[in-house]
Chains A and B, each alone.
Chain A
Amino acid sequence: METLLSLSDVSWRHKVRDFSTWKPWAKRDGPGIYSVDLDIKSGTIVGLIGPNGAGKSTLMRAICGLYDCEGFSKSCEERRTQIGYMPEQVRWEGRVSVRHALESIAMMRDSEVDIDGIIQTVGLKSKSEHILDNLSQGMRQRLSLACALIGNPRILVMDEPLNGLDPLAQRAFSNLLENLAKKGVAIVISSHQVSDLEALVDNVALLHRGQLLIEGSLNEVRKNLGLEDDSGIVEMICSVTGINPEDITLDLSDDGILPLKKFGGEEE
């Protein structure tokens, strides 16, 4: 399978307000991703899994060229041309129609776009002239998917795409992704639940505190970590980092301890 995009030592940290100084404009490094290596191959579906704040959305945005970080085999411009991006839970609103919203996005691409075909593909044909304010969350998700499909992307990057979809729509969505993968489209899809992706993905990449801890097929990952067949993210993270499941609290990762060393969980 052809490698469409390679990530090598990709790092990015958000700038956050620094409250330790009186200067209101002072910023410090916040959470982010650290030294991520990943190959995205045609026809494969990669599931990015990890807890809240692991860096899944940041990595996806970096892949899509929204952050100007280095370490990609293709430039930002090339990536934007070849990648279709579906962010998490977009709240489409306004008095314009679904078709108008899609036309706006299509104008930002050079290629000719078959808007009707895309509307048909995502099942919004009966809603194409409805205004955005009247769409349900599920319909908005479909619209976001339609935007990602504009321009026949070679790579689809989707952040928690199954949220807000009913079970039937989830099944239809999975079928659509499988069909696209069969046509050679590479798909990167995120979730904080392994069970959401189990039947869909070829490979998973486990992210924690901004680091890609382990990558491979679900079975390989579980086998390498010595886990049961039904084990989820908690077991995987505990196994990789050595954290005792009993010690897990609701505390989110501390920005200050990033980056961690791979597999060690030690501060660098």
Chain B
Amino acid sequence: MSAVRLSIHIMKERLIAGRMMVIWPLLAIFILFSSWGLSDPKANLPASIVIDSAYDVMFVSTAFIIFSATLGAVLISFDGVSRDRLSGVLEIKLSQPIERPTFARALLLGHWGAIFLPVMILNLVSLAIIWHRLGELPNLEELFIHTLGTALLLFWYTTIQLLASSWAKDLGSSVAIGLGVWMIFTLLWLVLTTVVAGLSGVGVEDLNSKDYVRIDAIMDLFSPNGVYHHLLEMPLSDVDRGMSPALISLAAILWSIIPAYLFQRRIERLHP
């Protein structure tokens, strides 16, 4: 009984769900159009952002991945457990001899695969766009870090969302928890960082000050989007926010293990 085999089945089920009609265009608009626009040599970007290489395009376009792909992960996974629970199908699934941790892993991998696959396909197309517009491609190390970071980011959001779905007793709560978490990390984290900086006595009038950048880098370790950006900054020689690669890797490992462990525990103890 393999979690991978079952997860592929779950992934197929999710990939043909009606909501993919919304997710595919959403992802395509954000990922492809951002690559197209950012790889335009005449592009005039705000905040003194300079794009010198193919990886710079990929790095800046991750802002759009964070916005669209994480929302896609939320939309795919928000009812990953709660829908089956409400319909009674979960009773049938939990009464099967499959071990609960294996079932939990299959759910995680299946839902993650259903968002990672479209994002990777579009990322490959965006690479082709970058190559067409700039005449160059990122090197293998950059490509590996970008792919790994994106895979991890989507895994973290999928796990958090499935955990929320397993807690929720109805679809409304499930959506509310999922979107709430997404908004905190995607839209409100800057506000939280500013508040923490203010409370720590760091001036927030200059967001490029050394002290603020330090606080921002630390706060980023507690957000999946922040850890994602830390990972992507690793190959950039001109970016240094004072975080060691070991600390960033540790944060990535903890973000991968803790929510997944909590989800597995939740499924082990779940009553239909």
| Per-residue contact bits, chain A 78-120, to B (CB 8 Å; 1 contact, 0 not) | 0011010111111111111000100111011110000000000
Q: Which A residues from 113 to 164 make CB contacts under 8 A with B?
A: 144, 147-148, 151
> Taking the complex as formed, is A207 at the interface, i.e. its CB lies under 8 A from any CB of chain B?
no
> Taking the complex as formed, is B239 at the interface, i.e. its CB lies under 8 A from any CB of chain A?
no
Q: Which A residues from 21 to 68 make CB contacts under 8 A with B?
A: 61, 64-67
| Per-residue contact bits, chain B 82-118, to A (CB 8 Å; 1 contact, 0 not) | 0100111101111111100001000000000000000
> Taking the complex as formed, is A251 at the interface, i.e. its CB lies under 8 A from any CB of chain B?
no
Tell me how far the C-beta of A212 lies from the nearest C-beta in chain B, rounded to whole angstroms.
21
Query: Assuming the A-B contacts A77-B97, A80-B95, A147-B92, are A107 and B9 also in contact, with contact meaning beta carbons closer than 8 angstroms in the complex?
Result: yes
Would A90 and B95 count as touching, CB distance under 8 A?
A: no
Would A66 and B94 count as touching, CB distance under 8 A?
A: yes
For this complex, into which size category does the number of interface residues on chain B fall? 20 to 34
Interface of chain A, helix or strand or loop or mixed?
Answer: loop
| Per-residue contact bits, chain B 64-83, to A (CB 8 Å; 1 contact, 0 not) | 00000000000000000001
| Stretch of B10-18, B153-161, B218-226 that contacts chain A | B10-18
Would B97 and A104 count as touching, CB distance under 8 A?
A: no
Query: Assuming the A-B contacts A95-B18, A100-B13, are A108 and B96 also in contact, with contact meaning beta carbons closer than 8 angstroms in the complex?
Result: yes
Would B88 and A88 count as touching, CB distance under 8 A?
A: yes
Would A108 and B87 count as touching, CB distance under 8 A?
A: no
Would A89 and B13 count as touching, CB distance under 8 A?
A: no
Q: Which residues of A contact B246 (CB under 8 A)?
A: none
> Taking the complex as formed, is B6 at the interface, i.e. its CB lies under 8 A from any CB of chain A?
yes
> Taking the complex as formed, is B42 at the interface, i.e. its CB lies under 8 A from any CB of chain A?
no
> Taking the complex as formed, is B140 at the interface, i.e. its CB lies under 8 A from any CB of chain A?
no
Tell me how far the C-beta of A32 lies from the nearest C-beta in chain B, rounded to whole angstroms.
12
Bound-state Cα–Cα, A95 to B13, Å:
8
> Taking the complex as formed, is B1 at the interface, i.e. its CB lies under 8 A from any CB of chain A?
yes
Q: Which of B13, B83, B95, B97 contacts A110 (CB 8 A)?
A: B97
Q: Which residues of A contact B17 (CB under 8 A)?
A: 94-95
Bound-state Cα–Cα, A96 to B110, Å:
15
Bound-state Cα–Cα, A91 to B93, Å:
14
Nearest-neighbor residue (CB-CB) of B10 within chain A: A104
Tell me how far the C-beta of A103 lies from the nearest C-beta in chain B, rounded to whole angstroms.
7
Bound-state Cα–Cα, A81 to B88, Å:
20
Nearest-neighbor residue (CB-CB) of B93 within chain A: A108
Q: Which B residues from 1 to 34 make CB contacts under 8 A with A?
A: 1, 5-6, 9-10, 12-13, 16-18
Nearest-neighbor residue (CB-CB) of A77 within chain B: B97
Would A108 and B97 count as touching, CB distance under 8 A?
A: yes
Tell me how far the C-beta of A137 lies from the nearest C-beta in chain B, rounded to whole angstroms.
12
> Taking the complex as formed, is B180 at the interface, i.e. its CB lies under 8 A from any CB of chain A?
no
Query: Assuming the A-B contacts A108-B93, A108-B97, A109-B98, are A90 and B87 also in contact, with contact meaning beta carbons closer than 8 angstroms in the complex?
Result: yes
Bound-state Cα–Cα, A103 to B5, Å:
11
Query: Assuming the A-B contacts A66-B271, A95-B18, are A87 and B6 also in contact, with contact meaning beta carbons closer than 8 angstroms in the complex?
Result: no
Tell me how far the C-beta of A228 lies from the nearest C-beta in chain B, rounded to whole angstroms.
37
Nearest-neighbor residue (CB-CB) of B91 within chain A: A87
Q: Which residues of A contact B203 (CB under 8 A)?
A: none
Would B94 and A144 count as touching, CB distance under 8 A?
A: no
Query: Assuming the A-B contacts A90-B87, A144-B92, are A81 and B97 also in contact, with contact meaning beta carbons closer than 8 angstroms in the complex?
Result: yes
Bound-state Cα–Cα, A79 to B72, Å:
39
Q: Which residues of A contact B83 (CB under 8 A)?
A: 93
Q: Which of A66, A89, A92 contacts B272 (CB 8 A)?
A: A66
Bound-state Cα–Cα, A67 to B91, Å:
11
Would A108 and B98 count as touching, CB distance under 8 A?
A: yes
Bound-state Cα–Cα, A90 to B83, Å:
11
Would B9 and A108 count as touching, CB distance under 8 A?
A: no
Q: Which residues of A contact B92 (CB under 8 A)?
A: 85-87, 90, 105, 144, 147-148
Would A89 and B97 count as touching, CB distance under 8 A?
A: no
Closest 9 CB pairs of A and B: A108-B96, A90-B88, A108-B98, A85-B95, A91-B87, A80-B97, A87-B91, A81-B97, A64-B95
| Cβ contacts A to B, 13 pairs, < 8 Å | A61-B91, A66-B272, A67-B271, A83-B95, A85-B92, A92-B89, A94-B13, A100-B12, A104-B10, A105-B93, A108-B93, A110-B1, A110-B97
